[in-house]
Every structure is written in C-alpha cells, then in structure tokens.
Structure 1
Amino acid sequence: MQTMLGKPALQYFGKLSRYLYKNGEPINIWVYSRNSSFSVIPKNGLLSPKITQRFYQNSSIQYQKDKNIYEPKENLEEKELSEGFLDESRLEIPEAGHNWEKSFFGLSSQPFSKEICDLLTAPLEVDDIEIKPDGILYLPEIKYRRILNKAFGPGGWGLAPRGNTNVTSKSVSREYALVCHGRLVSVARGEQTYFDPEGIATASEGCKSNALMRCCKDLGVASELWDPRYIRVFKRENCVEVFVENVLTKKRRKLWRRKEDKFSYPYKEV
C-alpha cells in the first residue's frame, strides 16, 4: 500500500500504521479512525514528505520515532486492535446475562441430553467430506453450522468473540467462545490468511468459521477427520492422487481429488 487513503478508506481500514521518514529519521505514524486498527509496512519504506503532509491533512495522526524500523518484517509483533471490527455496544451486557468475553459459565457443568449427543457425534456422510489438493480431508464450514442447528436448534447456539482481533500483514486471528443453550462449551482461536488489505473483512469471517470448526472438535463433531486410520481408509476408497498440468505454466504436479470429481481450469490431468 503506497498511495494515500482518504477518509472513507480510513474508516474502512481503521487505524493504519505506516513507517515513514521525517527529516531523515524513521518515524511510526498511526492513523486513527472510529472502528479498528491494523499494522501495515509499506513495501518501499520511504514515502515522500508531500504524501506525509496529505496524510496529516486528511486524518488524525500522531507520530513518534521508531528505533525498530529496520527490524525484519517477519519479526514484528502483531498489533492488536483496540476496538475490533464490532461496535462497542456489543460490550453492553444485560443484567441477567453473562459477559462471554470473560465468563466460563456452565463449562463442564453437565452433559447434554442423549438426543443432542447422538446428533453431534453421528458419523459423517461420505458425500459430505471433501479433500483439498494437498490431501487434507475437511468438512465445509456450513455443514458444521447445520449440525449445530440440528442439535440445538437455530438460535440455540452462538459464537461469542473473546478479546480483540489481531491483524498482521498476512493474517487475521481472533478467539471465540462457543455457547450452546446458555452455557459455554469451548473456546478456540480462529485464523485466516489474506493477500490484499481489501480482503480483511472477508478474512475476519473466515477466521470466525475456523474458530467454529475448532470449537466443534470438543463436541465430537466430525471427529473422524482427525483419526489417522479413518483418513487412510477414506482416501484409499474414495480419493485418488493424479498428475496434473497447469495449462498456463506447463508445470506438472501430483494433486488429490475425489474419484468422481474432475479438476477444472487451469489444471488438466495427464
């Protein structure tokens, strides 16, 4: 990101950290807005004083000398969002409710009914399981939601964010609590990578779905997908590893697919 962001963009991206130079010295500039914050380091490091001045005119900025400007990008610590992507009104807790950001109410207090347990731990349908090209089995995130809706009913469960959203130059992560029938069941941190700052909002949703999948492991949902023996048998009976060629680059590699599926463009089997 090497161009100036106007106010609408700043309101979307939140507080943007930029490393610039002033009078020959590196400084760390924080651009504040009402919603959120994240850190990004410009690829070329040096931005002109003119751009710096335009930032100052269009945003609320404070800057300070940063002695660690030359630290490698991969060693920089994550910058935690002070507000997250949600409005602060989410912190208003009803008098009779629980603050699920901190509460562990109901954890391991009693098991769910046999009917609910049977729905949660039911064996997966073979047609529901997908395989990634690298050979990893997975269950689409929407099917985790269908299982929870079937077991607890729509509105009978929910994901409560715990803590703030962490956004680095490559990924988004946040901790969530799975609450079912009014009591906490599991806590897990979701994560999602992104390749363009404009995809941060989408990545935050992927982060939430990833946390849901991890929480569902504690309920026994889709537990087969973490069983090495089941994985080997499923891949042997339902999947195949084939050589494919990228029609654009002409490079060949081995990828996995289900036996009844075919690869789509730009890959073709050879």
Structure 2
Amino acid sequence: MALRSLRGLLSPSSASVRIATPIASVSRRHATTRAAPARPSASAASTPAASSPNSSTPTPASSSNPISSHQDLSEATNGEPGGTTPGENWAISFAGMSVQPFDSRIADVLEAPIKEEDVEIKPDGLLYLPEIKYRRILNRAFGPGGWGLAPRGETNVGAKIVSREWALVCLGRFVATARGEQEYFDPSGVATASEAAKSNALVRCCKDLGIAHELWTPRWIDNFKSKHCIEVWAENATTGRKRKLWRRKDASPFQYPNKEVRS
C-alpha cells in the first residue's frame, strides 16, 4: 500500500518531467530558427547591386553619335569615299529630279540672253561660250557652292580619246547628266584631257538648264556669224596649204602657224 502511494506521488512529477523536456527542446529550436539570418534568394543573388555615386567601378557611357562603327559610316555616306555626313551617292542617284521647278529668280538668271561679246568662234566655224562663262552663270543662279559636278562611273581612256560621265547637281537636286570627251595625242596628256572632258560635260549639262540656248538655235547662229564673224584665207607656215578659217571681225588676224593671206 505504501509502495502504491509512493508511485502515485512520483507519477505526476515524472509526467511533468517528460512533458517539460519536449517543450524546452521546441523552444530552443524555435529560438534558433528566428535567430538564423535570412538567406538571399536566387533572384536577389543574380541581380547586381546598384552602383553608388561614389563607386569607382566604371560604367559604359552611351554614345550620342549615330555613326558608331566603320560599317555605320559607310552606310551613312552611301559608300562615298571620304564622306563624314549622310548624303546621296550621286554616282547612281537621281534624287530631286523634276520634283519642282527652280524659283523665278533662278530661272531668269539661267535663261537670260547671252552677251554677244562673250561668244567665241572656232576656226572651223563652230560657235561656243567659254566654259568659265557657264560657271559664272551657275554661280549667279545658285551661289558659289550651291552646285557641283559628280562623277558617274570611271574614266574611259581610249587610244586617242578620254571620256567620262558627269552629273550636274544644283541645291542638292539632280539636274542633268552628260558624257564629256576630249582627244589627246600623247599619253602624258591624259590627265589634262580628263579635265577638258569634265568641262565638256558641264557645257552639255547646262543645256538642260537653258544656259546659252541660243548656241543650239541655227537661225541665231547664222545671224551672229553674218554680223560678228568673217571667213578668211590662211596659209599654213609649215605645209604651205591654204584654207578658209573663221574668226570674229573684232579679233586680231591669224598669225602662226596659219597666216592670213589674200585669195
């Protein structure tokens, strides 16, 4: 009986001990869980931290220049050698052709009658306006720098002739194209003939603008020659051959190698 009483007295204490032990263990685990630092998530670890204003790490600067590579430069200049700004490739372009007429002031300058004292005549009777006169008319119409000749294709060098196609561009607009040509008699004269071919192309292009249109009118040519020109006999000093040559009436007589003689 005494033994049972003793067991009864000890049972609650033992139970208390058994219950207290897991409670303490759980409390310790709970405290450990709350004390552990939070682990960064995978997304947070993969995201770079924003650089502070005082950070020494360099950041790539964004370029404001639209031409950022050699390829971009080539595309911007449309293949023009030495170009630095976007523009037309006048070797193939017809940009601005017949978009609209030039204003009346420009048209008046281009189509103004030529001065008769500026017209020259070749010994074979061909009337012409010196090439510099065409350039001055273009300068008056479009201003210096407002027009230019652009090559279209390579220079063709034949056995005795040089030719090349050129385009006349005025105020950023295609106006006309023509092939200029010039004869040469020695290989050392090819460069000079190339420049003469360019001038020849300019004269032909100006015809589309109406410059010196009188020189393409047969009636005007006949009237001018009868009024300002004369046909004379001249003898070649080397061969002694006589032939008729044209010159202006107000020009000096032929001297050498063809000297004027009486028929």
Distance of 1:90 and 1:259 partners within structure 2: 49
Q: 2:148 aligns with which of 151, 158, 180?
A: 158
Distance of 1:132 and 1:146 partners within structure 2: 21
Distance of 1:143 and 1:189 partners within structure 2: 20
Q: TM-score, normalised by structure 1?
A: 0.65
The residue that corresponds to 2:72 in the other structure is none
The Cα offsets for residues 141-168 of structure 1, whole Å up to 9 and x where unpaired, read as 1111111011111100000000111111
Q: CA RMSD in A?
A: 1.3
Paired AA for residue 137 in structure 1: L
The residue that corresponds to 1:143 in the other structure is 133
Paired AA for residue 260 in structure 2: E
Q: TM-score, normalised by structure 2?
A: 0.67
The residue that corresponds to 2:229 in the other structure is 239
User: Bigger relative contact order, structure 1 or 2, given CA contacts below 8 A and separation 6+?
Assistant: 1
Unaligned runs of 5+ in 1: 1-88
Aligned positions of 1:172-211 closer than 5 A: 172-211=162-201
Count of aligned positions: 182
How many angstroms does 1:248 deviate by?
2.4
Distance of 1:144 and 1:137 partners within structure 2: 14
Q: Does residue 130 of structure 1 match 2:104?
A: no
Q: 2:254 aligns with which of 230, 246, 263?
A: 263
Distance of 1:264 and 1:153 partners within structure 2: 40
Paired AA for residue 150 in structure 2: A
Paired AA for residue 269 in structure 1: E
Q: 1:121 aligns with which of 100, 105, 111?
A: 111
How many angstroms does 1:91 deviate by?
3.3
Distance of 2:255 and 2:135 partners within structure 1: 28
The residue that corresponds to 2:161 in the other structure is 171
Q: Quick check: which one's strand share is greater? A: 1
Distance of 1:125 and 1:95 partners within structure 2: 40
Distance of 1:240 and 1:144 partners within structure 2: 25
Q: Does residue 101 of structure 1 match 2:68?
A: no
Runs of 4+ in 1 over 3 A off after TM superposition: 89-95
Q: Quick check: which one's helix share is greater? A: 2
The Cα offsets for residues 172-209 of structure 1, whole Å up to 9 and x where unpaired, read as 11111100001100011111110000001100100100
Closer, same or farther: CA 95–260 of 1 in aligned 2, 3 Å? closer
3-state secondary structure, aligned to 1:200: helix
Aligned positions of 1:14-163 closer than 5 A: 90-91=80-81, 93-94=83-84, 96-163=86-153
How many angstroms does 1:92 deviate by?
5.0
